């Protein structure tokens, strides 16, 4: 009998990609309608995928705890395993590579909120709530214009510019969402073999903007230069623009070199292979640079 998953935020990046991967693996997928009774919606579900996230960082201090409480209630009532996408915010500026043994020492308000959220899931796991927290860096999804890579970093790539929000030589962690979703479904399939609370980093890819510019030049045969984004705009706009205010405290991630440890995922998924980075970048460039070719 096919297993059933309730996907929260199925129209978003993570939720949408996991919904597709689950369907491809033979799962029955229900898509949660925001604002309805989550406990009722989860009845009969074997898995709850929490892809809900307040858009544009809106009211995280209020909405993240509310979503967490709803998801935990739905998990308890249904007995479903929870699948949660984690991020790198709780680690602050700790040395890497980051994994479950890295201390949570957030340097931002949103890092503290996410760390507190994770603590609630961990406590619930101690009471029997099975949870998989798959932690990724910045999401990569070519068809999603809202992603930082598409909206900003590659925003002027047709003009021969790669935009950087910070140090162009700082290593930055990225998660190609089709890969992350594929890994999530494979981890869910392990069932009881995983610990009750499985905090697993998704290593994905890590590269600097300087490396990205060089890779694009090689793939396209066109020269690229680095353009520094004027970060003062975030300070200027913060009093009247919520997103600018919320982004400003996260700019440290574009200066602090970081990556996620790939070893834990490969411990559980011994045959794991990421999509080649040349292929990932070439997909992002399709329609932006007519002469782009996938690297060999």
Q: What confidence score (pLDDT) does residue 2 get? A: 76
Instruction: Evaluate whether 210 touches 226 at the Cβ level (below 8 Å).
Output: yes
Q: What confidence score (pLDDT) does residue 237 get? A: 81
Alpha-carbon distance 241 to 239, whole Å?
A: 6
Mean pLDDT over 206-228 rounds to: 97
Q: What confidence score (pLDDT) does residue 1 get? A: 62
Mean pLDDT over 127-137 rounds to: 98
Q: What confidence score (pLDDT) does residue 14 get? A: 97
What does the pLDDT look like over 50-106, one tens digit per residue?
Answer: 999 887 778 899 999 999 999 999 999 999 999 999 999 999 999 999 999 999 999
What does the pLDDT look like over 179-199, one tens digit per residue?
Answer: 999 999 999 999 999 999 999
Mean pLDDT over 237-247 rounds to: 78
Q: Is the pLDDT of residue 129 over 80?
A: yes
pTM for this entry: 0.94
Closest Cα partner for 220 from 160, 143, 180? Answer: 160
Alpha-carbon distance 46 to 127, whole Å?
A: 18
Q: Look over the chain and give the mean of its residue pLDDT values, rounded to a whole number.
A: 94
Looking at the chain, the whole-number percentage of residues with pLDDT higher than 70 is 97
Alpha-carbon distance 66 to 114, whole Å?
A: 13
Q: Is the pLDDT of residue 210 over 60?
A: yes
């Amino acid at each position: 009998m096919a297993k059933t998953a309730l996907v929260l935020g199925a129209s978003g990046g993570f939720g949408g990609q996991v919904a597709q991967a689950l369907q491809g693996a033979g799962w029955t997928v229900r898509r949660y309608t925001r604002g309805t009774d989550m406990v009722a919606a989860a009845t009969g579900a074997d898995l709850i995928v929490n892809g809900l996230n307040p858009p544009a960082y809106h009211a995280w201090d209020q909405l993240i705890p509310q979503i967490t409480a709803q998801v935990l209630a739905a998990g308890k009532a249904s007995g479903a395993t929870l699948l949660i996408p984690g991020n790198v915010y709780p680690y602050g500026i700790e040395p890497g590579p980051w994994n479950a043994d890295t201390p949570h020492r957030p340097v931002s308000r949103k890092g503290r909120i996410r760390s507190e959220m994770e603590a609630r899931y961990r406590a619930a796991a101690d009471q029997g709530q099975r949870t998989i927290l798959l932690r990724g860096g910045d999401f990569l999804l070519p068809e999603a214009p809202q992603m930082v890579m598409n909206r900003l970093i590659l925003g002027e790539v047709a003009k021969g510019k790669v935009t950087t929000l910070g140090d162009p030589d700082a290593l930055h962690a990225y998660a190609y969402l089709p890969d992350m979703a594929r890994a999530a479904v494979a981890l869910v399939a392990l069932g009881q073999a995983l610990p009750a609370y499985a905090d697993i980093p998704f290593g994905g890819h890590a590269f600097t903007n300087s490396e990205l510019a060089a890779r694009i030049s090689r793939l396209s045969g066109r020269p690229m230069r680095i353009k520094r984004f004027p970060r003062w705009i975030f300070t200027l706009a913060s009093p009247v623009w919520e997103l600018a205010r919320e982004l400003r405290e996260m700019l440290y991630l574009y200066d602090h070199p970081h990556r996620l440890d790939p070893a834990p995922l490969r411990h559980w998924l011994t045959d794991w292979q990421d999509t080649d980075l040349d292929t990932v970048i070439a997909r992002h460039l399709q329609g932006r640079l007519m002469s782009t070719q996938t690297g060999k």
